[in-house]
Amino acid sequence: MIQSHKITVLAIGSTGDIYPYCALALGLQQAGHQVTVATNYNFENFVRGLGLDFAAIAGDYRLLLSSESGQKILQGETAKLIEDDLLKQQMNDALAAAEGTEVLIFNHLAIWGYHVAERLEVPTFLASTIPLSATRSFPFLKFSEEPKANLAKGWLNYSSYILIELLSTWQGRAVTNSVRKAWGLPKLPALGPRFRRDRPRYLSFLPILYGVSPSLVSKPKDWSSSIYLTGVWFLDRLEHYEPPAALTQFLDAGETPICVGFGSMIDASSEVLTNIVLAALLASKQRAVILSGWGGLGKIKIPDDLKAQIFIVDAVPHSWLFSQVKAVVYHGGSGTTAAVCRAGIPAVVVPYFADQAGWANRLYRLGVSPKPIPRKQLTVESLADAIKVATSDTQMQQKAALLGRKISSENGVEQAVAIVHQYLQNQ
């Protein structure tokens, strides 16, 4: 039996970024470990409400995504979301949070957790809900593509990861080396950690846990044995959710609705987006539960002819709501993608940025979603047409149901905890 360890799970980001790591933390806690979740300060009540210890990291991604830089990023442009002072504060907060820890697990948005691990000299895992390890099978964030046996293509695919890694390293190198110096760590080479010769033994073969379903993305053949697709880390502690009476009444009052929500995406014009959604619902003749999310979707005066057809609520646990609807219109985030797929219903994906297009195209290739509609190309007609397909295509519905059964049979948290235990026993 594995002995109890003090474990710090370092995860920053939006709501959808944080939930999977809370699920992983709960799994580790249930296995007998003392677990602290170190995350952005605005999640303190949520984390503590789950019965987990909490440590604060600077930065509120809701405010960051609302900023000028955040809006540029959401529109697919290049911008710097985390300024140098905030990055330095986050790194120092993380070191303080992890002081005395025996195991560190950090997520992809807190990639600088690598330096915290080096400072503390503890067993460490990188954990991510997005496949980010270099491979010849597909380019960076294009995991929707089918692997092709093409030497030149494979080389270009692999190089795309190295290029992104180098750009990321160069962008934050000055701050990172400044913090490392203050921590008594050696300066990193210009090309970053991958190319250093003095890499500590415990960071030489960093195990990577991907909270991704193998039913959605197959493990590339050129990934090492220390890279794992564990299955999704679902946060099912919310299973005892009691919905508002008004929501239950709406669900019971007519035909099964769809769900529309864009999660943490803060749209440049929430009013315009809401009007597109409402018009598309009218054109497709669908009832809908609208999740306002961070962007305030639906926070306008609703036309009288639609009031009885929609129900607007800030947030509802996906594990509960998606079992009550027949399709979901959403932004393509990894967490919502997993929840929709597990529910066994079709999706309509409107990707904004980053990995969202990858998930959107993956679902399209699997036949469980109409063709994705990038946010910049979203119109009433395109959305209405996609909703009509998702709610009427029986073959798509059957494929979605089959995928849902596959994902429901997986236990990503249990698998990830077992892998952590395996490594700790071999230390």
Provide the pLDDT for residue 238: 57
Decide if pLDDT at 150 tops 90: no
CB 264 within 8 A of CB 333: yes
Decide if pLDDT at 14 tops 90: yes
In this structure, what are the phi and psi dihedrals at residue 310, rounded to the nearest 5 degrees?
A: -130, 155
CB 262 within 8 A of CB 225: no
CB 260 within 8 A of CB 232: no
Provide the pLDDT for residue 181: 97
Q: What is the pLDDT of residues 261-271, one digit of tens each?
A: 999 999 988 99
Q: What is the pLDDT of residues 97-128, one digit of tens each?
A: 999 999 999 999 999 999 999 999 999 999 99
CA pair distance 57, 55, nearest whole angstrom: 7
Provide the pLDDT for residue 7: 99
What is the CATH code for 6-232+411-425?
3.40.50.2000
User: Residue with structure tokens 């919310």?
Assistant: 238
Q: Where in the chain is the domain with CATH 3.40.50.2000?
A: 6-232+411-425, 238-408
| pLDDT band, very low/low/confident/very high, at 319 (cuts 50, 70, 90) | very high
**CA dihedral (155, 108, 259, 63) positive or negative:** negative
Provide the pLDDT for residue 147: 66
Q: What is the pLDDT of residues 130-139, one digit of tens each?
A: 999 999 999 9
**Other beta carbons less than 10 A from residue 183's beta carbon:** 15
Structure tokens at 381: 């007609």
Read off the pTM: 0.95
User: Residue with structure tokens 């990577």?
Assistant: 208
Angle, vertex CA 234, rays to CA 230 and CA 237, nearest 5: 140
At residue 291, the 3 state secondary structure works out as: strand
CB 407 within 8 A of CB 213: yes
In this structure, what are the phi and psi dihedrals at residue 250, rounded to the nearest 5 degrees?
A: -65, -45
What share of the chain has pLDDT > 70, as a percent?
Answer: 98
**CA dihedral (90, 95, 99, 101) positive or negative:** positive
Domain spanning 238-408: CATH 3.40.50.2000: yes
Decide if pLDDT at 149 tops 70: no
CB 194 within 8 A of CB 129: no
Q: Identify each DSSP E strand in 149-224 by its residue range.
A: 208-210
Decide if pLDDT at 198 tops 70: yes
Burial of 152 (0-12, 13-18, 19+ CB in 10 A): exposed
Query: What integer best gives the mean pLDDT of the chain?
Result: 93
Taking residues 307-328, report their average pLDDT: 95
Q: What is the pLDDT of residues 17-71, one digit of tens each?
A: 999 999 999 999 999 999 999 999 999 999 999 999 999 999 999 999 999 999 9
* Strands, sheet with 288-291, edge to edge from the N-terminal-most edge strand: 310-313, 288-291, 258-261, 328-330, 347-349
Provide the pLDDT for residue 186: 94
Provide the pLDDT for residue 237: 67
| pLDDT band, very low/low/confident/very high, at 148 (cuts 50, 70, 90) | low
Decide if pLDDT at 316 tops 60: yes
Q: What is the pLDDT of residues 354-407, one digit of tens each?
A: 899 999 999 999 999 999 999 999 999 999 999 999 999 999 999 999 999 999
* Strands, sheet with 53-57, edge to edge from the N-terminal-most edge strand: 53-57, 34-40, 6-10, 103-107, 124-128, 208-210, 227-229
Decide if pLDDT at 200 tops 80: no
Q: What is the pLDDT of residues 73-96, one digit of tens each?
A: 888 788 889 999 999 999 999 999
Amino acid in position 98: A
What length does the chain have? 427
Q: What is the pLDDT of residues 273-309, one digit of tens each?
A: 999 999 999 999 999 999 999 999 988 788 888 889 9
Q: What is the pLDDT of residues 170-189, one digit of tens each?
A: 888 999 999 999 999 999 88
At residue 7, the 3 state secondary structure works out as: strand
